[in-house]
Chains A and B, each alone.
Chain A
């Protein structure tokens, strides 16, 4: 692999990790996962299930794009076709013996599959990777970066929630409201860290 391709891969990975994490991905994953991921192990399970579904769906979508991109209908049909790829990845992973033979961790990750496939996260990552990157391997690297970023962001949220649960907060703010405030301030910090400036 030459230096240009390596740089493109690293930039796709960095964009996926930093830009499309759960904090900046417009709350795509801040509803039910907050209830599922009560432990670091739960966060890792969610991350691994997302990674499997997303990588497989991105691979299928890139293949479909290669076949259909020459037709003008691709611009219209790419949304339902990408959704079909996510569904195909979900059903294929359910059929594969991967989760049954992969030990306790893999077995416990299986229930997350339905959730991550159809709550919008996997679909969003597939759509964004296909929109932003023309080459299949770049889209795959981007999707991988997105899943890693999602897992990191979930861990940050979980760490914050653990500390918040030990803090004394007003009754009206306890639970979800203070967590949303924490996510907002955290995403503002990440927004600044990646070099943006607040609009004036």
Chain B
């Protein structure tokens, strides 16, 4: 899935850069179409035969997803290097979140990580493989990320206050 999104992101980035002179609607349509064609070509060429079996109908959907539209927007306005960096970081973030969710769900469901058995002391929950558990886990992770962000913000604020207090002491 991550490879499919990477192909779509790279193809989408270059196509949307090339079509900068067109309006947003045409760019979205043509970029998504080229990405779907690229993914169709890859699956038809048989380079990744397992990909089609695993993803099925989700393969073209991964190629024309909302992430592509978010990639198209910075590709238009920003400089090439900056837009490319943003695209790569978006893909890395997407892959990290996907891997984290997959690992947590696999560990809870089967006590394995990528089919390798691991010894963990958590209860095995068969239902964790269902889509609904993905939403629940995503919600918990979003809350955790927000909590960590707030703690970090508080630390930075405290450090900033400390620095300003030290400076004030210095000026006296």
Contact = CB atoms under 8 A, between A and B. Distances in A.
Interface residues of A, number: 44
Interface in B3-46: 25, 28-29, 32-33, 36-37, 39-40, 44
A47 B92 CA distance: 33
A128 interface: yes
Contacts of A181: 135-136, 139-140
B79 interface: no
Contacts of A23: 132
A8 interface: no
A184 B25 contact: no
Nearest to A28: B61
Contacts of A76: 40, 44
A5 interface: no
Contact of B138 (A80, A87, A180): A180
B144 interface: yes
Contact of A123 (B61, B136, B137): B61
B170 interface: no
A77 B134 CA distance: 32
A110 to B, nearest CB: 12
A198 interface: yes
B132 A184 contact: yes
A188 interface: yes
Q: 7 closest Cβ contacts across the A-B interface? A: A180-B139, A184-B135, A184-B136, A199-B126, A181-B139, A177-B143, A187-B132
6 contacts: A87-B29, A172-B144, A176-B139, A181-B139, A183-B139, A187-B132
Interface of A: 23-24, 26-28, 31-32, 76-77, 79-80, 82-84, 87, 90, 114, 118-120, 123-124, 127-128, 131, 170-173, 176-181, 183-185, 187-188, 191, 198-200
